[in-house]
Structure 1
């Protein structure tokens, strides 16, 4: 068996020129061995330490995301607190669009900083404080008051998440080499998913069926974000050149054809994030999924992330373009499978909808991995934050539009919405063929 190709840390390469050559102490040989095992390549000890810090802090952040998931955990919590249904319905739009739309403005502030890791850490602290406020509201309020307070805290959490999102790709690109970035984020996704699987198992066994236990899980999420912020501040990041002009740079939107195609592909893959509630609706209409079976959805989603995130990450290091193509096809197949199960009367079975949902979540996590890696590798080194902000702001707008259209289609029936979503995913795979290879 041939040995994996060795890529050493070369000072002439783009990432290395931006890495901070400090004398920061650390367990170099141990970190290098662990990171080499994860990435499959030999690395410089400094990059290995940075890679491990990325993995641990990102794992903590992703696990916190799973513990406070608006689609599942917060929806169940607001329902149990007696909040109006309209507030429950606002949770996902607040979380998703709120984390994307502000990024174009935040990118201008980010460009003024020499240390971009501090921007990510500030966002993580904001998410931790917001999660703590959600837990406090759940313990002290009920009904509409609880719903309004939790929605307000979630809006603050989404804004803080936007700060993390707009800065992370820039920080990752400066501290980890191109061929190993997907491995970093993929490993973090798989490890954090294992923790969420544990939560799902506890929910299925009734251990966490009470409101207090769920609030404790949210409080744990707050602590994880604070720990992630502290660890991210220890990254050995090269100082960036601050820009005095903080106005957002919109020019890549009409100058860079690949960015235009990427935004189009990513926009047409948005249904992989919007479709899960329609799977639940299909099942509940047939009596196949009771409201109190929260653990089923948590377990299915986390298992898909655990089994696929690292694999998607390694595949993205080879070709993130093909990851986007494949996930569009898989997502469309999952949606059409759910529609087919409904037409054949299989939604009352134990396995039909969960199996289709599992397939969809495989595609969803692949989309997340592929789009992140592609954007970091495609964007010019000094424009990563700008490109991320432009893409995410555009997708935030498309999320609102697609969510509205999906809701209108659902008036006809969830099957109609899923068929429309599947068509978009198939179209995304076709358009992705026109993307350049950037790895």
Structure 2
């Protein structure tokens, strides 16, 4: 692809679509662990629910990415967002770990339908020389939707009292449902590059894995994701169990995270254009060790808010770095498939790390054994820090002119 690669002009519909679909994505991401505790899950069940969400969110993306690259992006995004709206409406009525797992998986699969197509659609608007800046700007505006969701969650739940249960989340889940339907409408008003391939899905895994840059990125992402996800079963037991955080306090921590992410993606979009993709990606992964250390040692809820703000910066760096790097190395007609393969590697590794850690610790770490949970989190911090440096083995993809 040359520097003069034609790209589409950004529109209000594109930004509104990104912001509205960020609302349900943020709610399911931020509150799945908390809802697992609210329905009475143990450590193993919490690990299964979190791991199952990650697996359902990412494993189907290779299939859906291939479909998007052949039939077009908007159709798949619209279908995924409509199904997402229906699933969120059903989620408001679950009351057991088994049903929570089933509907969370349904929500995640519907998001997986749209995710690679959205990433590829954003690529249609980003020319090569200013790719990092444009992707950062679009993602930053999209994240505002998630920030609005968390501020809304804070205001809705600020005066809630009594023990946390699924009823505490009903307003948020209905908001997510409505936003999903709205995003489908906005997507229908955007433009896309029409695929030039035949109207059929044909996945060539041999060709994908034959790309040395992609293969290395997938391997390193898998290793890091597995190590990082070993902390997943424990976070909610710190926030809800040890610190007794309410829904509004959890929403406040998520709002701090997203506020920093909104600002950070604009900043990192420019940094990526100046220093390259690899340094930003390494920074984003190594810094994730901080969250597990603070969660392990936290004694008050405001400490969680503070570290989530820092994590927002790390996630902004990853969002800009990962998507820009993949779009750099992918042939234009396979962008959605490459993005999906990247997310699948992360999702499968997150599922395995979360589920295996939940199973291994089920027999000797109780949900109220906070000293043992803190030790497990510190162990994960070491893995995150060490494995983050593996991204230094990637080839830098920043254009030279």
Fold-level match, TM-score > 0.5? yes
- Does the 8 Å contact 1:200/1:299 carry over to 2? yes
Q: Tell me if 1:205 matches 2:165.
A: no
Structure showing greater Rg = 1
User: With structure 1 as the length reference, what TM-score do the two structures score?
Assistant: 0.75
1:201 positional shift? 4.3
How far, CA to CA, are the matches of 2:104 and 2:318 in structure 1? Answer: 24
> Match for residue 147 of structure 2?
193
For residues 342-390 of structure 1, give each alpha carbon's deviation from its aligned partner in whole angstroms, at most 9, with x where no partner exists.
Answer: xxxxx33454444344434543443334322322233221221221222
- Does the 8 Å contact 2:80/2:114 carry over to 1? yes
What pairs with 1:249-268 in structure 2 (closer than 5 Å)?
249-268=204-223
1:416 positional shift? 4.0
Q: Tell me if 1:233 matches 2:188.
A: yes
CA RMSD of aligned residues (A): 3.2
1:337 positional shift? 4.2
For residues 226-265 of structure 1, give each alpha carbon's deviation from its aligned partner in whole angstroms, at most 9, with x where no partner exists.
Answer: 1101111111222111335623121344322221232234
User: With structure 2 as the length reference, what TM-score do the two structures score?
Assistant: 0.81
What pairs with 1:2-401 in structure 2 (closer than 5 Å)?
13-16=4-7, 19=8, 47-49=9-11, 52-69=12-29, 72=31, 74=32, 76-77=34-35, 90-113=48-71, 115-135=72-92, 137-138=93-94, 142=95, 144=96, 147-177=97-127, 178=131, 179-206=133-160, 212=167, 214-243=169-198, 246-270=201-225, 275=231, 277-282=233-238, 287=242, 289-290=243-244, 293-319=246-272, 320-339=277-296, 341=297, 347-401=298-352
- Does the 8 Å contact 1:99/1:161 carry over to 2? yes
Distance 1:212 1:350, change over 3 A: closer
> Match for residue 358 of structure 2?
407
- Does the 8 Å contact 2:269/2:320 carry over to 1? yes
1:187 positional shift? 2.2
How far, CA to CA, are the matches of 1:283 and 1:214 in structure 2? Answer: 16
- Does the 8 Å contact 1:252/1:387 carry over to 2? no
1:325 positional shift? 1.3
Distance 1:247 1:92, change over 3 A: same
- Does the 8 Å contact 1:332/1:423 carry over to 2? yes
Distance 1:133 1:377, change over 3 A: same
- Which consecutive unaligned segments of at least 5 residues does structure 2 have? 366-371
How far, CA to CA, are the matches of 2:237 and 2:40 in structure 1? Answer: 21
> Match for residue 35 of structure 1?
none
Distance 1:310 1:273, change over 3 A: farther
How far, CA to CA, are the matches of 1:376 and 1:331 in structure 2? Answer: 24
1:224 positional shift? 0.7
Q: Whose relative contact order is higher, 1 or 2, with alpha carbons under 8 Å and at least 6 apart? A: 2
How far, CA to CA, are the matches of 1:48 and 1:233 in structure 2? Answer: 14
